[in-house]
């Protein structure tokens, strides 16, 4: 909008300058004096016919030059406005893509939360004691640290604080049964923040270090997506095929098949 106002202001100034130049008297031409007069303010050259013709030609040429310069500046300003409009449209598209990735992340996080809440309680063992919960740690501090990091995402929606929380958890409890999930959470958060290299590192760690983790298929899928975004179609194809072959009949395999068909 500022560019449009700027263009209008400059155009008005140039038109005023053009009018002033067009109305300026010419006092000397071809070595002889020429007087300009007019009862109503119009330019009326006096003198010989040749002088008057020459004066009119010079005045016309001056007007044409001013008009050409004015048009050139207006065209230049219009190009600048068009360029700025294109930049705004590109930024708008990038923001829309970022919001879409963010929505996808939130949807996936909500699905994880729903699945956790709907998970059945562990059945008691034959001797009457409760069976140990899968991937559940007996270390209360470890449980609290992991729950605190997860709650930053699911409850508080504070994704900036969740990143260092998961990083600190992985550093403090590298052998935790929650470590694979922590790597996946961290990869998702970094990807949503635009840190593709950091996200890729987390998904690679999960896929290579925890081959039995339920999140490995999703990690391989995300590695394929990241490779596709980087233009590495061969790598993306390899990751997608790993998901399809190693984890058939899963949602990750279905997404991998869809992405593979678009390569």
The DSSP annotation for 68-127 comes to HHHHHHHHHHHHHHHHHHHHHHHHHHHHHHHHHHHHHHHHHHHHHHHHHHHPPPPPBPTT
Q: What is the reported pLDDT for 109? A: 55
Q: What is the reported pLDDT for 11? A: 52
Instruction: Measure the CA–CA gap between 159 and 151, rounded to whole angstroms.
Output: 10
Q: What is the reported pLDDT for 75? A: 83
Pairing of the two strands 32-33 and 36-37: unpaired
Q: pLDDT tens digit string along 233-263?
A: 999 999 999 999 999 999 999 999 999 998 8
Q: Which two tokens stand for residue 193?
A: 């923040």
Q: What is the reported pLDDT for 86? A: 77
Q: What is the reported pLDDT for 106? A: 56
Q: Which residues of the chain have pLDDT under 50?
A: 2-7, 18, 20-38, 41, 113-134
Q: What is the reported pLDDT for 185? A: 94
Q: What is the reported pLDDT for 121? A: 39
Q: What is the reported pLDDT for 125? A: 34
Instruction: Measure the CA–CA gap between 116 and 128, rounded to whole angstroms.
Output: 25
* CB 52, CB 45: distance < 8 Å: yes
Q: What is the reported pLDDT for 119? A: 41
User: Distance between alpha carbon 171 and the CA centroid of its chain, in Å?
Assistant: 31
Q: Which two tokens stand for residue 143?
A: 């449980």
Q: How many CA atoms lie within 13 A of 65 on its CB side?
A: 8
Q: pLDDT tens digit string along 41-60?
A: 455 555 677 777 778 888 88
Q: What is the reported pLDDT for 80? A: 81
Q: pLDDT tens digit string along 163-181?
A: 999 999 999 999 999 999 9
Specify which residues 124 forms β-bridges with: 130
> What does each C-alpha distance from 154 to 29, 110, 116, 147 come to in angstroms?
85, 7, 11, 10
């Amino acid at each position: 909008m500022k560019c449009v106002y700027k263009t209008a202001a400059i155009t008005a100034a140039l038109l005023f300058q053009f009018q002033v130049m067009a109305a300026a008297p010419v006092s000397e031409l071809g070595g002889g004096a020429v007087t300009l007069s007019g009862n109503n303010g119009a330019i009326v050259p006096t003198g010989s016919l040749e002088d008057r013709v020459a004066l009119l030609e010079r005045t016309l040429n001056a007007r044409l030059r001013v008009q050409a310069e004015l048009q050139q500046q207006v065209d230049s300003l219009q190009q600048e406005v068009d360029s700025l409009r294109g930049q705004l449209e590109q930024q708008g598209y990038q923001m829309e893509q970022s919001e879409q990735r963010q929505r996808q992340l939130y949807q996936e996080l909500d699905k994880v939360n729903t699945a956790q809440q709907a998970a059945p309680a562990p059945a008691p063992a034959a001797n009457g004691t409760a069976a140990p919960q899968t991937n559940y740690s007996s270390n209360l501090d470890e449980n609290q640290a992991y729950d605190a990091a997860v709650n930053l995402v699911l409850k508080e929606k504070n994704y900036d604080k969740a990143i260092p929380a998961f990083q600190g958890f992985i550093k403090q409890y590298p052998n935790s049964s929650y470590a694979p999930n922590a790597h996946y959470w961290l990869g998702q958060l970094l990807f949503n923040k635009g840190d593709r290299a950091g996200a890729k590192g987390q998904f690679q760690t999960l896929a290579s270090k925890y081959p039995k983790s339920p999140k490995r298929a999703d990690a391989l899928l995300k590695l394929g997506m990241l490779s596709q975004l980087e233009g590495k179609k061969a790598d993306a194809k390899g990751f997608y095929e790993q998901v399809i072959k190693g984890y058939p009949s899963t949602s990750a395999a279905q997404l991998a098949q869809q992405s593979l068909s678009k390569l």
